[in-house]
Amino acid sequence: MVKSTITRINLKTPEPSMNPASPTSGPKSSSSWRILDYLKISSSPKQSVSPSNTSLNLKEQAEKAKSVCKCSCCGTVLTFPENTHKFCCPHCHTTNLLHLDLTADPPVHLLSYNYVNRLVDQALHSEKKIENSHELHERLKPLSDYLFQAFGSMACLNESFKLKRKSRRPHYSTANLDYDDVRKIFDLLTSLPSRRPLYYALSGACHCLKRLPLNLCDDPRNLSWVMVLFEIPFLSKALTNNDKRSQHRPGSMVEVPEIQALCYEILKRVLGIFSQAESTLTGNYVASWFSKRSHVDFMAKVELINLYITFHLKKYFYFANNPELARRSSSGGGLENTHRRNSSIPTPPPQQDESHLVKPTIKEARSNSVPHVQDDEYFQYSYLKDEVEGMDTLAPPVSLQQLTSGPLSPRSRGSKKKKHDAKIRVHQYSSNYHLRTASGALSIFVKANYIRYGENKLQAHAFYNSLVDYVNIKLDYDAWSSRRKSSRQDVGTEPALQTVIDYIHGSNHVPFTESPSTTFYFCQYPFLITLGGKIAILEYEARRQMERKAEEAFINSLDRRVTLDVYFRVRVRRDYIVQDSLRCIQLNPNNLKKSLRVQFINEPGVDAGGLKKEWFLLLTRALFSPHAGMLSYVEDSNFLWFNVVPVDNFEMYYLFGAILGLAIYNSTILDLKFPITMYKILLGLPIGLADYQEIFPMSARNLFRLRDYSAEEIESLDLTFEVTFSDPFGTRYTKDLIPGGSNLVVDGDNRELYIDKYARFFLWDGMSKQLAAFKGGFSNVVDGNAFSLFSPEEIQLLLCGSEESKFDVDVLQSVTNYSGWASKEEATESSTVKWFWEYVSGLTYKQQKKLLLFITGSDRVPATGIQNLTLKISRLKTAGGDSDRLPVAHTCFNELALYDYISKKKLAEKLDKAVNMSAGTLKSSLGLKGAARTLSSSASALTPYKQPDFSAYLNDRSESKNKNFTYFMVGSMGLLSAAGAKSTVEAFLSSMSASADVLAMAKVEVKLGAIPEGNNVIVKWQGKPVFIRHRTPDEIAEAESVDVQSLRDPETDDVRVKKPEWLVMLGICTHLGCVPIGEAGDYGGWFCPCHGSHYDISGRIRKGPAPLNLEIPQYEFTDDSTLLIG
């Protein structure tokens, strides 16, 4: 047995890439970018020999010299003596051969359906009738022996099933294999009256797969036999039918445990070989071969590999939910010993019928005359669920049918953590070579999917594995990304400050790991992680970096005696929103990863989410305007693309990139209409002719017609290697596609180069500086490893949300939360809620989007689907069970507050009025799909009013107070030890956001005796501000004297208060959910500076865009001096 070293070579992702190479060279040449653009070619790994000790004599050197090589199946790095010709891997038990000639003549007749069918006819179709099973086996013995020898011969398999026998050169376009012939052979074998021929064929294949040459992946032609074995049609049966095995007899021979065990062994080793070829030139050929398969075949292979990953991952799922089982396995040295010790794992049931499979002895197996006995690994994994169910002390395992909901699904969100919610941890699967090889094999199909076109191309979700949602993916990400921590520090972080922060987090040392290349992480193969999991990682990384920046700001404030600010604050003027935004971003390059807060100058509002949404909306609208000249609208594709006209102001493109990064970082959906090419550029992926065809379909169609022209026709066009274009003002520009292009005529020999250069100019070369500035702005905000996990399609969903053809109202209804009712059941049974969902179901798609825009501030659903939309419906009780007031939407909280209405018709009328009054729709002149929100927020759109002086309402910012704060912080820091500093910072950070129990608090008690007459008090109830005003007699008289018929939302003062002197209401503007300020505005009540809404001393809307009065919460007076809210 060969000694295994610590390390294993993983060919997929040796290091997480922080800054993918940008495609500075643009698309590849015409022939290469169809395939080779997506197939990264790397040379095969070479054998390395460890240096010998020069002090030893030659004989000792020969005895002690060791070679190092990687197993051809599992990839484990092994050492072996130099003078040997083979060695065995202790992990996968593969015999690795140093030399094997696959070009030798096959020892038996080549395999084909016709030949095997002829042998079957000779065995069964004779004049003599078969009397018993012994005679049947004797008749089939020549067939069985032939199948074992043929499938056990690598040379025979490699030369069989050829479409063109004379073809000796590998081709990207085809594997030169007749897959139908392979499937017909196995269909024939499964229809025979005995299982023995099928068993012998599969056993021969297993025997062949256990002896592999080290140079197997050097030549693509060497893998033809592996492609043949991967085409066995019932390999998946080994992974799906084991739960039924103990319940009833097998229905067909492919359900027999011994047959399934052989199928498992074949699949395991085939995937191992594919994984070793993945990063080589041979792997590129294999990817190209699979890309040519039909949609059904390609999808079936992807599902098969994912099923194999699930088969192995569910073992750790059982361990995570049954700790006793995990302890048994670890204490006994692994699952194998668990299988031997516990009788609860059944052995394969004996076969009682006449076609019982004979188990050959080891001596017979070594003689290669009959198949050898397979390993028991498959049975250990297959019957693990039976062992769990047989252990009285353990809870029954969660059925895998329950995995469709997943821990990231809405059904699991918001619910209490159950016993079976335990996560699979990294240490459980990190050394499992099965997961590593299967993931490596599946990456070949991901590569193949990139070069498939049209409807045959699978969506990213086709590669997701739902069981990965049960992995502790955040720990997996931390372990994966920490491998390059020592080689990179956060930009803008001082080394000394970084040391302090690392100490606070306990991360100032590099944790011991076995070796970077030995471990398997799911983040190495992100195509397995669902979009919900990737978003969770991105939010986790963003939150961690925001907290890190807050800590830096705190520590800097102590050291430098500066004011603490844990937010990235953007202060802009509405009329100069682009210039001011650019200035804020350029002056704060190290603060972009803080939590974003927006303030419009001369509008001292509080950003509770509404201002941030409006800032993104107004800024992107200004950047995308045709007058900005940054982007051009392509009518043929309805896309926006970068303007090829020369510009000097590259800062605008930098701002555009930074805005997209901030939107991702702050979980904000934008209304964008860009092709997938833009997201490829952000990820550093290659772009090519397919991208040009997506953006400029008409131009691409005409350009590609040059390939159909004869040389004479092309010359008659008089084309040269130059391009002419014009700007919106009619100015024409001419550029050479290559140096001296104006003097080079396009002919039949260089037309592919012309097509390549022409498309390349409008994709990259013509605006390379603009794209570089755009990508630089984006990378300055989003530069973590988390972003590299996404595909271009997923980034598009993340930024733009999902454009569904129609909302699934049933799903949205199932995930909606309710407030104001005793329970969710009571809420769903109430007439108001029933009428609301009936109203939503009856809307058109366009109307549904307007309603969603009214409630959430965006007409797009989240990237992960409408099931992950956080929606809340609150009940506003009214006397008599009817109200004339309009519903209220709080966009910051995705909340819709409904009054009780007497009929469904009245509710629909009020909703229609509220939706249409709050915002209109604007059809974009750029042809963007969907409706964009028109905010009544600009000064010109409002009723003219005199801007009041708000200095009296602002906090006192005197110099003495600032000094006192600074002296206190500096003095307290001098008294703290290192451990004390850690606890202080953690306490400070936790105080920045409300705790869970505060947010969930149902009732708040307020002592009224502490509130003087004529003063306001703000308290927090259920995470929302509540205004309490102790009104004076003059204020009461003023509120009662108003003519309510002239009000937008008619409501008398006595309806809004229970005691005239006490006014209690929610401090949330009914326009976009901002927080108004008190004792301000034109009516002496409250003023929302965000959009100019004025409320009187009774909280009624008097002027501005807000449609409704400030909402009155549920409250009561328990006595004369105590108020209970809730």
Calculate helix-pair angle for 295-321, 323-331, nearest 10 degrees.
90
pLDDT of residue 433 exceeding 60: yes
Confidence of residue 46 (pLDDT cuts 50, 70, 90): very low
Residue 423 has pLDDT above 60, yes or no: yes
Residue-wise pLDDT for 366-387, tens only, equals 334 444 444 567 777 766 666 6
Most confident of 260-264, 921-925, 939-943: 260-264
Q: CA 835 to CA 434: how far, in whole Å? A: 53
Paired tokens of 75:
């990839």
Provide, rounded to the nearest whole percent, the portion of the chain with pLDDT above 70: 71
Q: For 822-876, what is each residue's pLDDT tens digit?
A: 888 898 899 999 999 999 988 888 888 888 888 887 777 776 677 778 889 999 8
More confident residue, 1071 or 1006: 1006
Contact status, residue 302 vs residue 465, Cβ threshold 8 Å: no
Structure-token pair, residue 519 = 């471990």
pLDDT at 763: 92
Q: Is 85 a catalytic residue?
A: no
Q: Which 3 state secondary structure label does DSSP give 1102?
A: strand
Arithmetic mean of pLDDT, 591-619: 79
- Cβ–Cβ contacts within 10 Å for residue 164, how many? 9
| Residue whose structure tokens are 């030995």 | 518
Closest CA to 48 of 64, 63, 70: 70
Query: Which helix (H) or strand (E) element contains residue 1123?
Result: strand 1122-1125
Residue predicted with more confidence, 563 or 255: 255
Q: Which helix (H) or strand (E) holds 889?
A: strand 888-890
**Cα(179)–Cα(163) distance, rounded to whole angstroms?**
10
b/e per residue 608-638 (b: at least 16 CB within 10 A): bbbbbbbbbbbbbbebbeeeeebbbbbeebe
Phi, psi at residue 793, to the nearest 5°? Answer: -65, -35
Tokens for 427? 């240490």
Residue 892: name the closest of 581, 568, 668, 665 by CA. Answer: 668
Residue 1062 pairs with which residues in a beta bridge? Answer: 1030, 1059
Contact (CB, 8 A) for 109 and 150: yes
Count the residues in the chain.
Answer: 1126
User: According to the per-residue pLDDT averaged within each range, which of 353-362, 694-703, 877-886 is highest?
Assistant: 694-703
The predicted model gives 520-532 an average pLDDT of 92
- 3 state DSSP class of 98: coil
Please state, in angstroms and rounded to a whole number, the distance separating the CA atoms of residues 566 and 398.
44
676 vs 361: which has the higher pLDDT: 676
pLDDT tier, 985 (very low <50, low <70, confident <90, very high otherwise): very low
For residue 560, pLDDT beyond 70: no
Which residues face 1017 on adjacent strands? 1028
pLDDT tier for residue 1002 given thresholds of 50, 70 and 90: low
pLDDT, tens only, 339-371: 444 333 333 333 334 333 333 332 333 334 444
Q: Please check whether residue 224 is in contact with residue 106, taking contact to mean a CB–CB distance below 8 angstroms.
A: no
**Average pLDDT along the chain:** 75
Separation of alpha carbons 843 and 839, rounded Å: 7
Residue 342 has phi, psi (to 5 degrees) of -100, 125
DSSP class of residue 943 equals P
Strand partners, 1077: 1087
Count other C-beta atoms under 10 Å from residue 1014's C-beta.
12
Place of tokens 């108020």: 1123
Identify each DSSP E strand in 601-693 by its residue range: 631-634, 639-642
Question: Can you list the domains of the chain with their CATH numbers?
Answer: 1-6+51-94 (no CATH), 100-280 (no CATH), 566-684+773-800 (3.90.1750.10), 688-763 (3.30.2160.10), 809-918 (3.30.2410.10), 998-1125 (2.102.10.10)
Mean pLDDT on 1016-1020: 86
- One-letter amino acid identity for 2? V
Question: Span 184-205, mean pLDDT?
Answer: 93
The pLDDT assigned to 492 comes to: 45
Three-state DSSP state, 414? coil
Tokens of 277: 């070829």
CB 71 within 8 A of CB 2: no
Whole-number Å distance between alpha carbons of 849 and 860: 7
Rounded (5°) CA angle 392-393-396:
70
> What pLDDT, in 10s, does the model give residues 1032-1069?
998 999 999 998 888 888 889 988 999 999 999 998 88
608-635 residue pLDDT tens: 667 787 888 888 888 887 777 788 888 8
Question: How many angstroms separate the CA atoms of 851 and 896, rounded?
Answer: 10
For residue 81 the two structure tokens come to 């003596």
Which of the residue ranges 286-295, 662-671, 944-953 would you say has the lowest mean pLDDT? 944-953
pTM: 0.68
Q: Which two tokens stand for residue 736?
A: 């050479």
Mean pLDDT, residues 915-942: 37
The secondary structure of 575-602 as a DSSP string is GGHHHHHHHHHHH-TTSTTSEEEEEETT
pLDDT attached to residue 512: 37
DSSP 809-841: HHHHHHH-EEESSSSHHHHHHSHHHHHHHHHHH
Which stretch of 102-106, 305-309, 877-881 has the lowest confidence by average pLDDT?
A: 102-106
- Reported as a single tens digit per residue, the pLDDT across 207-263 is 999 999 988 888 899 899 999 999 999 999 888 855 544 444 556 888 888 899 999
Are the C-beta atoms of residues 728 and 629 closer than 8 Å to each other? yes
Rg, C-alpha atoms of the chain: 35
What is the reported pLDDT for 561? 63
Query: Which stretch of 232-236, 562-566, 744-748, 902-906 has the lowest confidence by average pLDDT?
Result: 562-566
pLDDT band at 330; cut points 50, 70, 90: low
pLDDT of residue 65: 58
Angle at 303 between CA 459 and CA 286, to 5 degrees: 80
CA distance 274 to 920: 56
Average pLDDT of the segment spanning 948-960: 40
Question: Shortest CA distance to 800 belongs to which of 674, 927, 906?
Answer: 674
Q: What digits encode the pLDDT tens for the residues 76-100?
A: 888 888 778 888 888 888 998 887 7
The candidate with the shortest Cα–Cα distance to 553, out of 494, 503, 480, 509, is 494
CA distance 188 to 179: 14
* Residue 790: other Cβ atoms inside 10 A: 25
Rounded (10°) CA dihedral 20, 23, 24, 28:
150
Which residue out of 312, 372, 1091, 1094 is catalytically annotated? 1091
- For residue 477, the surrounding DSSP H or E stretch is helix 473-481
Three-state DSSP class for residue 81:
strand
Is residue 177 within 8 A of residue 163, CB to CB? The reply is: yes
The predicted pLDDT at position 907 comes to 92
- pLDDT of 781: 86
Q: What is the DSSP string of 599-616?
A: EETTB--B-SSHHHHHHH
Of 308-317, 437-446, 487-496, 1017-1026, where does mean pLDDT reach its minimum?
A: 487-496
Gap between the Cα atoms of 355 and 146, Å rounded:
19
> For 752-803, how does the pLDDT look when each residue is reduced to its tens digit (9 = 90+)?
999 999 999 999 999 999 999 999 999 888 877 888 899 999 998 888 877 6
Per-residue model confidence as pLDDT tens digits over 271-302: 999 999 988 899 999 999 999 999 999 999 99
Calculate the CA 895 to chain-centre distance: 27
The rounded distance, in Å, linking the Cα atoms of 124 and 121 is 5
Which range of 97-106, 551-560, 975-984 scores highest in mean pLDDT? It is: 97-106
DSSP string, 897-920: EEE--SSHHHHHHHHHHHHHHH-E
What is the 3 state secondary structure string of 426-446?
HHHHCCCHHHHHHHHHHHHHH
**Percent of residues, the chain, with pLDDT higher than 90:** 28
What is the model's pLDDT at position 647? 73
Residue 701: what residue type? R
pLDDT of residue 631: 86
The model's confidence at residue 894, banded by pLDDT at 50, 70 and 90, is confident
The answer on pLDDT for 968 being more than 60 is no
In terms of Cα–Cα distance, which of 283, 301, 285 is closest to 293?
301
pLDDT given at position 234: 93
Closest CA to 359 of 235, 199, 198, 202: 199
Please indicate whether residue 446 or residue 385 has the higher confidence score (pLDDT): 446
Of the ranges 225-234, 654-663, 949-958, which is most confident? 225-234
pLDDT given at position 1090: 67
Q: How far is CA 605 from the centre of its chain?
A: 35
What does the alpha-carbon distance between residue 257 and residue 241 come to, in Å, rounded to a whole number? 9
Residue 178: predicted pLDDT: 94
In angstroms, the CA 907 to CA 830 distance is 13
For residue 959, what pLDDT is reported?
43
- With a cut of 60, say whether residue 550 has pLDDT above it: yes
What is the reported pLDDT for 434? Answer: 92
What one-letter code names the amino acid at 1071?
H
